[in-house]
């Protein structure tokens, strides 16, 4: 599943793991993406959205 929110566009961020000895290795922070059934243009579709968009009410879920 793609780790990009289809509502807000939130995606993966890159950075470094920094150990106690100050070594740097690449790592990624991925958003919490859920695949939900939502109402889009008066029809039910499966969309990948982040939990922030679900919680804030930007997505109307289908039952």
Confidence of residue 1 (pLDDT cuts 50, 70, 90): confident
pLDDT in tens, 23-32: 999 999 999 9
pLDDT at position 28: 97
pLDDT in tens, 5-61: 999 999 999 999 999 999 999 999 999 999 999 999 999 999 999 999 999 999 999
Q: What is the pTM assigned to this prediction?
A: 0.82
30 closest CA partner among 48, 12, 14: 12
């Amino acid at each position: 599943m793609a780790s990009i929110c289809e509502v807000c566009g939130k995606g993966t961020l890159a950075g470094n793991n920094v150990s106690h000895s100050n070594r740097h290795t690449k790592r990624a922070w991925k958003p919490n993406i859920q695949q939900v059934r939502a109402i889009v243009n008066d029809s039910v579709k499966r969309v990948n959205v982040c939990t922030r968009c679900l919680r804030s009410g930007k997505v109307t879920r289908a039952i």
